[in-house]
A and B are shown apart, each in its own frame.
Chain A
Amino acid sequence: MRTMQSFWQQLLQSDLLFYYKRDKVAIGSSLVFLILALMAIFSPWIAPFDPYDLTQIDLMDSEMAPVWLPNSDERFLLGTDDQGRDLWSTILYGMRVSLLIGVFAVLLQSAIGIVIGLVSGYVGGRVDNILMRIADVQLSFSTLMVAIIVLAIVKNAFGGETYSNYAMLILILVIGLSEWPQIARTVRSSVLGEKEKEYVDAAHVMGFGPIRIMFKHILPNCLSPIFVIGTVQIANAIITEAALSFLGLGMPVTEPSLGSLISIGKEYLYSGSWWITLIPGFFLVVIVIAINLLGDFLRDVFNPRLYKG
């Protein structure tokens, strides 16, 4: 806990805040992200309707246009989808689902990646060789591909009904498990740099075990690249989740994420109801851009040696 505290103090005194105050793009993107995240978190209180509550849905209201277009209803700010759900409420709830999956998937992959990266970098030798080979192979397969295949199989094994009950959990697991190599490689390369330093030798001499040295001494010094990668990975996880839901392998229609909303709307694009697809798409892109810009800013400040490709 002490190391964490000193890390935060370091963070506040560091150049981070200084650069942040001068960087308009960083301030803007973090504000946008904060607003969207708060809206998502408090969606049950903000949203005028509860899209999960079937009694509030009337099929007669389906495919209403947003209020600034003809054929609209002032109850529905952004129009309604094919089932008559208020699009604004559904987007708020969907954003919550997308963010939740993104954040938890990244937490999971960080946990796995940190452990594997630490072990790989610290122990070295054959263990390192094998672990990094596995990471290479998994990366070369493209995480989206791995996720699509695993979800396709899981869906077929469990059947659609059970699958949609656990969809969120399964998505977090699959995205978290398939993206760990990114973080593991970053952690490993910074561990390799830290391992040679004297404080590690000192800890050795004091008789600390390898686990304590790895987690209490080396890890706190490797956190900044993890933050950078982690931020970008949240954006990636949100896009991956959207892609999977878009393909019908992710969140079910009854509990839509932004990706499943886009997917619902694609058939109605031809009948002119563009808002069902394009408005959730707009929110998705805005969230992802905000996170990516923040990641760029963090990378410029911390400037860790990022793995290319």
Chain B
Amino acid sequence: MIQFLLKRILQAAMVMFIISLFCFSIQDTLGDPTREMAAMSMSDKERENLRDEMGLNDPLLMQYGRFVGRALQGDLGTSYFFKEPTLDVIMKKLPATLELAFAASILIITISIPLGVFCAINPRHWFSKFTMAVSVIGISIPVFLTALALIYIFSITLGWMPSFGRGEVVHVWGSWSTNFLSWDGIRHIVMPAVALSSIMLPLFIRLVRAEMLEVLNSEYVKFARAKGLSDGPVYLKHALKNTMLPVITVGGVQIGIMVAYTILTESVFQWPGMGFMFLEAVNRSDIPLIIAYIMFVGFLFVVVNTLVDLLYGIINPMVDLVGRRQ
């Protein structure tokens, strides 16, 4: 177990190392800080002095060391546009994105599990066939198109829903303001959350259905029936429990992938989260903020994936923990 843990952590560290190397090389090629700092009238000589002073002419290895050292202390540079430390900017935008992802996850869980289970139990029912057909179509509709269609129908034509922004938020703690405590906030989060979940829902319905079907055909479910248990306990106690394991692990990874889709959703709804901030940073060529975002998201991905791996290793005794060669 400890060996497994060490291996995973080592791998995570390796990935973070590569990400940091990548970010460092971007910074080196794209962002010449003297260009931002120096006045137009500055001569080449003065600029060279400035470069020396900032250590930009040091060997690359030393510069990289400094970059990592600062990053470890939470210093990822200062945003050109916001004139604030980039990590502070990201932290301010983070709650909005997390709340959006949270709302979408709730939708996915509460809709996909009952639907998937129903489709597995009654494969020939018309509703199951309908659900599966809709899920193929759902996979084929890009998330930004769903978002635009929602806006067109519910905001522009019907005028029921607000089409952009977070609306009225209630301040909770630090930089965290929540959408969930005011009616206006809830109204604002509904459409982005529906759009964001629309891309994952079909996947999860299919996954729950496939896993449940497999479990229903297993020996122990047959045995439970043979014991004379009625349908309810068989489905809920024996089958669903064992369906959840793969669903949770795949789900963990998918939630990480959701971060990419939040960029699309946030850009359509002008949701003031990390993704929207990143796109703005790209358009403004705000290099430090771009780099900070990549580092931050990379870190998030690595942490989530390592945790999911570890969790899976703990829950599922069949995982070959050490990875012996056959």
Interface residues of A (CB under 8 A from B): 125, 129, 133, 137, 140-142, 144-145, 148-149, 152-153, 155-157, 235, 239, 242-243, 246-249, 262, 266, 269-270, 272, 274, 277-278, 281, 284-285, 288-289, 292-293, 296, 308-309
CB-based contact A269/B151 at 8 Å: yes
Residue of A nearest to B31 (CB): A156
The docked-state distance in angstroms from the alpha carbon of A308 to that of B249 is 11
The docked-state distance in angstroms from the alpha carbon of A288 to that of B136 is 10
A-B contact pairs, 12 of them (CB 8 A): A140-B301, A152-B278, A157-B30, A242-B142, A243-B143, A246-B264, A270-B156, A278-B152, A285-B137, A288-B141, A296-B136, A309-B253
CB-based contact B26/A266 at 8 Å: no
CB-based contact A243/B30 at 8 Å: no
| Chain B nearest Cβ from A147, distance in angstroms | 9
CB-based contact A289/B136 at 8 Å: yes
Residue of B nearest to A151 (CB): B282
Residue of A nearest to B26 (CB): A153
A142 touching B257 in the complex, CB below 8 Å, given contacts A269-B148, A289-B137 = yes
The docked-state distance in angstroms from the alpha carbon of A278 to that of B150 is 11
* CB within 8 Å of A: which B196-233 residues: 207
Interface residues of B (CB under 8 A from A): 11, 15, 26, 29-30, 136-137, 139-145, 148-149, 151-152, 156, 163, 207, 246, 250, 253-254, 256-257, 259-261, 263-264, 267-268, 278-279, 282-283, 285, 287, 290, 294, 297-298, 301, 305, 323, 325
Choose among A141, A148, A156, A235 the residue that contacts B285 (Cβ–Cβ < 8 A).
A156
A153 touching B290 in the complex, CB below 8 Å, given contacts A247-B264, A269-B148, A269-B156 = yes
CB-based contact A281/B256 at 8 Å: no
Inside 8 A of B263's CB, which chain A residues have their CB?
148, 247
A144 touching B156 in the complex, CB below 8 Å, given contacts A284-B145, A285-B140 = no
CB-based contact B145/A285 at 8 Å: yes
Choose among A141, A246, A293 the residue that contacts B144 (Cβ–Cβ < 8 A).
A246
Choose among A142, A149, A246, A296 the residue that contacts B256 (Cβ–Cβ < 8 A).
A142
The docked-state distance in angstroms from the alpha carbon of A193 to that of B260 is 35
Inside 8 A of B144's CB, which chain A residues have their CB?
242-243, 246, 262
CB-based contact A247/B279 at 8 Å: yes
The docked-state distance in angstroms from the alpha carbon of A309 to that of B247 is 10
| Chain B nearest Cβ from A299, distance in angstroms | 12
The secondary structure that dominates the B interface is helix
Inside 8 A of A284's CB, which chain B residues have their CB?
142, 145
Choose among B30, B136, B152 the residue that contacts A153 (Cβ–Cβ < 8 A).
B30
A239 touching B257 in the complex, CB below 8 Å, given contacts A246-B264, A266-B148, A281-B148 = no
Inside 8 A of A149's CB, which chain B residues have their CB?
294
The docked-state distance in angstroms from the alpha carbon of A233 to that of B222 is 38
Inside 8 A of A281's CB, which chain B residues have their CB?
145, 148-149
Choose among B30, B260, B323 the residue that contacts A145 (Cβ–Cβ < 8 A).
B260
The secondary structure that dominates the A interface is helix
CB-based contact A145/B156 at 8 Å: no
CB-based contact B283/A144 at 8 Å: no
| Chain B nearest Cβ from A142, distance in angstroms | 4
The docked-state distance in angstroms from the alpha carbon of A183 to that of B256 is 21
Inside 8 A of B250's CB, which chain A residues have their CB?
308-309
Inside 8 A of B246's CB, which chain A residues have their CB?
308
Q: In the complex, which of the residues B15, B141, B148 has the most CB atoms of chain A within 10 Å of its own CB atom? A: B148
The docked-state distance in angstroms from the alpha carbon of A285 to that of B325 is 45
Residue of B nearest to A289 (CB): B140
Inside 8 A of A242's CB, which chain B residues have their CB?
142, 144
Inside 8 A of B325's CB, which chain A residues have their CB?
125, 129
CB-based contact B15/A137 at 8 Å: yes
A277 touching B142 in the complex, CB below 8 Å, given contacts A140-B301, A142-B257, A145-B297 = no
Inside 8 A of A292's CB, which chain B residues have their CB?
136, 139-140
Residue of B nearest to A288 (CB): B140
Choose among A142, A156, A247 the residue that contacts B267 (Cβ–Cβ < 8 A).
A247
CB-based contact A156/B30 at 8 Å: yes
The docked-state distance in angstroms from the alpha carbon of A243 to that of B263 is 10
CB-based contact B256/A140 at 8 Å: yes
Inside 8 A of B30's CB, which chain A residues have their CB?
153, 156-157
The docked-state distance in angstroms from the alpha carbon of A155 to that of B298 is 20
Inside 8 A of B259's CB, which chain A residues have their CB?
142, 145
CB-based contact A274/B152 at 8 Å: yes
Inside 8 A of A293's CB, which chain B residues have their CB?
136
The docked-state distance in angstroms from the alpha carbon of A38 to that of B246 is 42
| Chain A nearest Cβ from B156, distance in angstroms | 6
| Chain B nearest Cβ from A190, distance in angstroms | 17
Q: In the complex, which of the residues A125, A155, A277 has the most CB atoms of chain B within 10 Å of its own CB atom? A: A277
CB-based contact A157/B29 at 8 Å: yes
The 10 closest A-B pairs by CB, nearest first: A145-B260, A142-B257, A288-B140, A144-B260, A289-B140, A152-B282, A142-B260, A281-B145, A309-B250, A140-B305
